[in-house]
Amino acid sequence: MKIKSTILVIEKQSRLKLLSLYELVAYKDLLYFLIVRGVKAKYSQSIFGVGWAVIQPLFTMLIFTVVFGNLAKISSDGIPYSLFSLCGLLAWTYFSAALSDASASLISNSSMISKVYFPRLILPLAALFSKLLDFIIAFIVLIAFMFYYQIVPTFQLIYFPFLLLYLLLITLGPSLIIGAWSVQYRDVKYAMTFVVQLLMYSAPVVYPLSAVPEKYKVFYSFNPLVGLIEGFRSSLLGFNPMPWNELLIGLPFCLGSILLGLITFSALEKTFADVA
């Protein structure tokens, strides 16, 4: 084994160290195996296995289609309502599930935190990536529906990978903030569960962006999920042009929440082992 001369100084950190990319790279294999663990452990010993990841968005979509599409007759910009809501749910389900997993990751792995040193940031990151499995499965369901309605994506599909990355980034900020605080205050976790449920109505999941009055649209788009969900629809279904305005307005809020998340996380992570 090659011997690297490394000098390590342990003392009370007075300055905030936001992000040590060098350290994250050194532990990239751990990240990989934690993602594998997250994916494999989730559906082992269940009869339907990954089927659960199909059932959840599918049934939510059915209920939404009946309640909001058929009964309340909410407009869906000319898109079949089921497809419209499924597309919104694709992004929203990932956001809420990944947020809940990632912010719980520090508490559920507290035994690891109190026994070994590794960059703590790896835990929420691994949770975010493992949740992509469910996303992919829901995505396949969406493709099946697109076949059924015979919808051919336009060139706007090329934006999809960027939107997916954006979705991960949007989820990262709140995950870090909530995750770090919930180690010390478990209330944060309980509160989050129901706040997230309510928040769904603050994003265009069951209704279209066009239903929001013009004068509120700018404030409305502060929520990065607004641009993202509309972007998902435009990119995949091609009924509307890409919502560049909303995406641009939301971006600084997304980046701001990541910055705030990193600050919170690095300020609190030193005490995780003591208070977890």
Partner 1 sequence: MSDTIIKVENLSKAYRIGVEDQKSETLLGSLMMVLRSPLKNFNDLRNLRNLDKESKSIFWALNDVSFEVKQGDVLGVIGHNGAGKSTLLKILSRITEPTSGKITINGRVSSLLEVGTGFHPDLSGRENIYLNGTILGMTKREIDSKLDEIIAFSGVEKYIDTPVKRYSSGMTVRLAFSVAAHLEPEILIIDEVLAVGDAEFQKKCIGKMKDISGKGRTVLFVSHNLGAIKSLCSSAILLKSGRVEFQGGVSETLNAYITKKNLLNTGKGVVSETMRTIKSEIVKIDQVLLIEDLFQPIEDVTYQDDFKVHIKMTLLNRIENALIDIRITSDEGLIIEHVLNSLLGGSHVTLESGEREFLVTIKNRLAPGNYSLNVGIHNSKGATLEYAEDVYPFTVMKVSKDARLSYPYEFVDGYSHQQGIWQTVK
Name the residues that contact partner 1, by CB under 8 A: 1, 3-13, 27, 29-30, 32-34, 36-37, 40-41, 44-45, 109, 111-118, 184-185, 270-271, 273-275
For partner 1, which is the closer residue by CB, 251 or 267?
Answer: 267
At residue 213, what are phi and psi to the nearest 5 degrees?
A: -55, 140
Q: Which is nearer to partner 1, 246 or 269 (CB)?
A: 269
Q: Determine how many CB atoms are found less than 10 A away from the CB of residue 237.
A: 23
Q: Which is nearer to partner 1, 32 or 244 (CB)?
A: 32
The distance of closest approach from Cβ of residue 141 to partner 1 in the complex, given in angstroms and rounded to an integer, is: 25
Enumerate the H helices of 109-186 as residue ranges: 110-113, 122-130, 132-148, 160-184
Q: How far is the CB of 264 from partner 1 (least distance, A)?
A: 13
- Helix 244-268 to helix 224-237 angle, to the nearest 10 degrees? 130
Query: Which residue type is seen at 149?
Result: Y
Report in angstroms how near the CB of residue 140 gets to partner 1 at its nearest: 24
Give the type of residue at 127. Answer: A
**Smallest distance, partner 1 to C-beta of residue 216, A:** 35
First to last CA, the chain: 35
Closest CB 101 distance from partner 1, rounded Å: 15
Give the CA distances from residue 47 to residues 42, 51, 136, 204, 264, in Å, rounded to whole numbers and listed in that order: 12, 9, 20, 34, 40
Q: Which is nearer to partner 1, 247 or 268 (CB)?
A: 268
What is the nearest approach in angstroms of partner 1 to the Cβ of residue 54? Answer: 21
Q: Could you tell me if 225 and 92 are in contact, meaning their C-beta atoms sit under 8 angstroms apart?
A: yes
What is the helix (H) or strand (E) element at residue 64, kind and residue range? helix 51-64
Whose Cβ is closer to partner 1: residue 33's or residue 222's? 33
d(Cα 37, Cα 24) in Å, to the nearest integer? 18
Is the CB of 55 or the CB of 270 nearer to partner 1?
270
